[in-house]
Amino acid sequence: MAPKTEGIASQPYPKLTDLDGQSVFITGGGSGIGAYFVHAFASQGARVAFVSLTQAPALALCDAVAEETGQRPLFIPCDIRDLSTLCAAMAKAADQHGSIDILINNAARDTRHSLLDLDEKGWADSLDTNLRPHFFTAQTAAPAMREKGRGAIINVGSNSAHLGLSGYPAYVAAKAAIEGLSRALARELGPDGIRVNSLIPGWVMTERQKDLWVTDEALAECLAQQALKQTISGEDCAHAALFLASRMAAMITGQTLFVDGGRVMR
């Protein structure tokens, strides 16, 4: 039996009828948590477009999602560090699916580094991936959302910014900044009916995490700190994203929703 494509949920998502036909744009949708977002929104009948650097997994995901849902996502190859290319991808998505109703800034790179090893270029590269696109995608999507008087922006952060985890300080700094950006945008865009929230995953067992960093010892330490003693999946994050994008969250903006099994409590 062929291995299951990353991003395809093990069980059907609950149906949220207000998401049917919505134009959704997702960064980093080709693998990891983002792939689950792609499947989740396609399962609602949304018109999903996503960008990713990883072409082979992205194309396999499109095939799998189309087979599962009857909705084929639009994959646009893109390096989100190149803002002109990213904005062009958003324009292409809007041209094919209608102006963007739901924007999910998910793409990230958690490459390990230390304070003393990271040079100026490495610092800039981390922020160019993990923070800068969140501002400029919102800037690009907001005018059309304002015209419609509605829209939802979900910025994906990380609980590492609350735990003070070592080993990737530039990444942690960017993820902390995302929450401040979400609150500032929520305040600015709220009068136009646009909601902006942060979704904060814990340690999600994606293929990348399992390949690079998950060990028995590290996982045991993480689970010991969680109130809920199960590992976190991409599906768990996708359920939260569906909620934040839907009318069930119609009066929720500027908030931070943790999906980390209770490792961080506020």
Mean pLDDT of 201-223: 90
Mean pLDDT of 227-232: 96
What pLDDT does 254 receive? 99
b (16+ CB within 10 A) / e for 122-150: eeebbbbbbbbbbbebbebbbebbeeeee
Question: Does residue 2 register a pLDDT over 70?
Answer: no
For the chain, what is the mean pLDDT?
Answer: 96
What is the pLDDT confidence band of residue 214, given thresholds at 50, 70 and 90?
confident
Domains and CATH numbers, the chain: 17-251 (3.40.50.720)
Given the residues 13, 36, 168, 171, the one annotated as active site: 171
pLDDT tens-digit map of 56-94: 999 999 999 999 999 999 999 999 999 999 999 999 999
pLDDT tens-digit map of 114-129: 999 999 999 999 999 9
Q: Is 171 a catalytic residue?
A: yes
pLDDT tens-digit map of 17-65: 999 999 999 999 999 999 999 999 999 999 999 999 989 999 999 999 9
Give the whole-number percent of the chain exceeding pLDDT 90. Answer: 90
Question: Does residue 242 register a pLDDT over 80?
Answer: yes
How do strand 102-105 and strand 151-156 relate by DSSP bridges? parallel
What is the pLDDT confidence band of residue 210, given thresholds at 50, 70 and 90?
confident
- Mind spelling out the 3-state secondary structure of the chain? CCCCCCCCCCCCCCCCHHHCCCEEEEECCCCHHHHHHHHHHHCCCCEEEEEECCHHHHHHHHHHHHHHHCCCCEEEECCCCCHHHHHHHHHHHHHHHCCCCEEEECCCCCCCCCCCCCCHHHHHHHHHHHCHHHHHHHHHHHHHHHHHCCEEEEEECCCHHHHCCCCCHHHHHHHHHHHHHHHHHHHHHHHHCEEEEEEEECCECCHHHHHHCCCHHHHHHHHHHCCCCCCECHHHHHHHHHHHHCHHHCCCCCCEEEECCCCCCC
What is the pLDDT confidence band of residue 3, given thresholds at 50, 70 and 90?
low
Mean pLDDT of 97-109: 97
More confident: 62 or 166: 62
What pLDDT does 1 receive? 41
